[in-house]
Amino acid sequence: MDAQTKVPLVEMKDISLAFGGLKAVDHASIDLYPGEVVGLLGHNGAGKSCLIKVLSGAYPRDSGQIFINGEEAHIANPRDAKGYGIETIYQTLALADNVDAASNLYLGREIMTRWGTLDDSAMEHEARKVMARLNPNFRRFKDPVTALSGGQRQSVAIARAIHFNARILIMDEPTAALGPAETAQVGELIKQLKSEGIGIFLISHDIHDVFDLADRVTVMKNGRIVGAAPVKDVTKDEVLGMIILGKCPPGATPGPGAVAG
Amino acid sequence: MSSSAPIVRSDVPDEPLFKRLMRATEIDTRMVGMIAALTLIWVGFNVYTYFQSGEGLFLTPRNLWNLTVQTSSVAVMATGMVLIIVMRHIDLSVGAILGFVSTIIGVTQTSVLPYYLGLDSPYIWIVTVMLGLVVGAAIGALHGSLVAYLGIPAFIVTLGGQLFWRGAAWWVTTGKTIAPLDERFALMGGGPLGSIGAVASWSLAALACIGIVIGLYAGRRRRLRYNFPLRPMWAEIALAVVGCFVALGATWVVNDYPWPERVAANYATAHHIQAPEGGLFISTGYAIPVLIVLVAGIVMTFIAKRTRFGRYVYAIGGNPEAAELAGINTKKITVLVFAIMGVLAAISGCIESARLDAATNVLGQFEELYVIAAAVIGGTSLMGGVGTIYGALIGALVIQSLQSGMVLLGFDSAFQEMVVGVVLVGAVGIDTFYRRGTARG
């Protein structure tokens, strides 16, 4: 538990987000330490993607504060978030389908020549290096990503997230579209990134994935935090109980969404 | 692939010659298809007129020269329409912007500036062209802002824009035709005087050849530096030869078109030149509007391929949400794309009113449809994200070739429009079929 004595890498305090009358996130607080994987669990519509999109700058929050390394962060758009070293791998991958891998890798932060034009050769060169590390079989650098397989597209999205010295990585259902071999590969990658001191939010509705990879779990229901617990202090059944019933077991710290009793 | 020696694209044995050629030169198959279609149209019309009248009328310097001049207005605008359609928008107002801008230019040239600058001031044309470009950009930016910030569909904004600016053009001219325009301004429309002549045309061709060779060499060096696969040397040489051949051939054709006898005779008298037997042969060379098309094509290709802005336009067209999440200001890009379209419509307005030597409120009517058709025939997908500038230029040439050819053959106007309609639908149909085929493969 020595991680708890340090300053958290990310601390989101009392975050709320509403769409019209619907409270997608209701006074949620969550934290993340360096080299830690926090699994964020919940049903579809529990608010986990919305909470995390506040952190990645995709949604503006209605209230609440975000602290990065103990200092308040001002995140209003994806560019701000990237400035804090927060990178996101979205469930939809968020790739521009019609351009090639290198262009996607550098979308929004292109390498320019000294004349202010795009330096495609340099970008492709860098893309080849990073892809050689992630997916050595990747050869299709000239094709638009729409022509790639699911696993290849995933590796482009992951490459984009880790290439720019991310300190905080958000993975939204990273294995939903993958086969067993590719899922195992993503698992290996998460362990490697963790050992490099990167903090990872892993969003999933697959409880087995989360138990394999995460250090702590946080469960959400109806936009509220049910509770948070170190993985070793709770059982899968207890976590299922949190997801489905909102019942907080003794090993977990209850949140505002926990059902009394 | 770990060796540090340059990788040359390996030849696959037993590959058909054409396929091997395409792979080695990295030429887009779609472009080859479009050029083949264009060649077919040209040769077809030429053979047809040969059987009809005993001589081929289509592939003559005179007809080809006219063809390029007639294409120029639509071609200039098509380069911008590509980016609009790539971003999943549409602009139905370009014809009306063209008309409105030309009336503004006409009125300032004939009834405003002469009072301030004098009737024959050499500054009139440049001031009015600048004014036209600014007005075009402003109108485009207005349309783009309505689309981007208020979320009104581009179809509606520009449909309303079409009605509004066409009406505004009428209001500016009070329905009258404004003519004649400034003499210098009229050069933008082409014609014997609005062309650059033999020497300048050959110089331009030489520059183009040097440019092609330097471009290929620089590209090869860049690939070598990063150890990327290279084209085989024979493919590089073939590309250089074909490129130079096209540049020189086109120049030869436009220089083979002489000034009309009367114009040449007047010129001879005015400059005290003794006209030889059979009249003076003065080469026309490239027309200024055609040079404007070339510049627009090169600049727009540069913007699309080599700038951040262009990359974002394509990325937004491919996946707007992804572009937004990558931190791209999609609204600003939308406004800019429409503003560029407005500038290009203004340039076309200059070309057309200069060519006509008059500004009228119906100038450019229905032209938006041909502009969109040119972009689409040139391979721009209405689904967004896909399209090339050179494709749109070839598309514009295809449409104009069909129309000119049918005029040469004496087809009914009614029939001409029907044919263009069929070709548009047919071209997109073939393209869709082809794409489905490659997607499956």
B53-62 pLDDT, tens digit per residue, is 888 899 999 9
Tell whether B28 is covered by a domain: no
- List chain B residues with CB under 8 Å of A79: 327
Nearest to B319 among A58, A97, A117 (CB): A97
- Average pLDDT for B160-179: 95
Compute the distance between CA of residue A191 and CA of residue B277 in angstroms, rounded to an integer.
90
Burial A54-69 (b: 16+ CB within 10 A, else e): bbbbbbebeebebbbe
Q: Cα dist. A117→A120, B263, B302, B304 in Å?
A: 9, 46, 9, 11
B314 and A77 within 8 Å at the Cβ level: the answer is no
- A9, A34 contact by CB (below 8 A): yes
Question: Chains A, B: CB contacts under 8 A, how many?
Answer: 84
Tell whether B59 is covered by a domain: no
pLDDT recorded at residue B437: 60
Domain boundary, last residue among B265, B286, B307: B286
DSSP E strands, chain A: 10-19, 22-32, 37-41, 63-68, 71-72, 86-89, 168-172, 199-203, 216-221, 224-230, 253-254
Tell whether B35 is covered by a domain: no
Report the DSSP pairing between strands A216-221 and A224-230: antiparallel
ω into B122 cis (within 30 of 0):
no
- Average pLDDT for A88-103: 91
Q: Are residues B189 and B207 in the same domain?
A: no
Closest approach of chain A CAs to the CA of B53, in angstroms? 49
Mean per-residue pLDDT over chain B, rounded: 90
- Burial class of residue B348, CB neighbours in 10 A (0-12, 13-18, 19+): buried
Closest approach of chain A CAs to the CA of B420, in angstroms? 30
Nearest to A97 among B222, B328, B385 (CB): B385
pLDDT band at B440 (very low <50, low <70, confident <90, very high): very low
B221 reaches A (C-beta below 8 A): no
Compute the distance between CA of residue A207 and CA of residue A40 in angstroms, rounded to an integer.
10
Q: What percent of chain A has pLDDT over 90?
A: 47
Phi, then psi, of B379 in degrees rounded to 5? 100, 10
- Average pLDDT for B156-180: 95
- B357, B365 contact by CB (below 8 A): no
ipTM over 0.95: no
List of residues 6+ apart from B205 with CB closer than 8 A: B247, B248, B250, B251
Q: Are residues B240 and B387 in the same domain?
A: no
The residue type at B84:
I
pLDDT band at B2 (very low <50, low <70, confident <90, very high): very low
pLDDT at residue B441 is higher than 50: no
Q: Are residues B302 and B426 in the same domain?
A: yes
Q: What percent of chain B has pLDDT over 70?
A: 95
Closest approach of chain A CAs to the CA of B324, in angstroms? 8
- Higher pLDDT: A179 or B124? It is B124
> A42-77: per-residue pLDDT in tens?
888 888 889 999 999 989 899 999 999 999 999 988
pLDDT recorded at residue B78: 98
Tell whether B15 is covered by a domain: no
pLDDT recorded at residue B166: 97
pLDDT recorded at residue B131: 97
pLDDT recorded at residue B248: 96
Compute the distance between CA of residue A66 and CA of residue B29 in angstroms, rounded to an integer.
52
- Average pLDDT for B364-383: 93
Note down the domain range covering B79. 71-193+298-436
Tell whether B184 is covered by a domain: yes
> B263-302: per-residue pLDDT in tens?
888 888 888 887 777 778 889 999 999 999 999 999 999 9
Domain boundary, last residue among B286, B318, B349: B286
pLDDT at residue B175 is higher than 80: yes
Q: Are residues B119 and B138 in the same domain?
A: yes
Tell whether B33 is covered by a domain: no
Tell whether B291 is covered by a domain: no
pLDDT recorded at residue A181: 80
pLDDT recorded at residue B146: 98
Q: Are residues B333 and B421 in the same domain?
A: yes
> B298-311: per-residue pLDDT in tens?
999 999 999 999 99
Domain boundaries, chain A: 2-85+165-254
Compute the distance between CA of residue B187 and CA of residue B194 in angstroms, rounded to an integer.
4
Q: Are residues B347 and B275 in the same domain?
A: no
Tell whether B11 is covered by a domain: no
Given this structure, which CATH class describes domain A2-85+165-254? alpha beta
Q: Are residues B226 and B374 in the same domain?
A: no
- Higher pLDDT: A77 or B346? It is B346
Q: Are residues B111 and B204 in the same domain?
A: no
B319 and A118 within 8 Å at the Cβ level: the answer is no
Q: Are residues B327 and B420 in the same domain?
A: yes
Chain A residue with CA closest to B328: the answer is A108
- Average pLDDT for B239-266: 92
Q: Are residues B345 and B250 in the same domain?
A: no
Domain boundary, last residue among B286, B317, B339: B286
Q: Are residues B206 and B252 in the same domain?
A: yes
User: Per the structure, how many domains does chain B have?
Assistant: 2
pLDDT at residue B7 is higher than 60: no
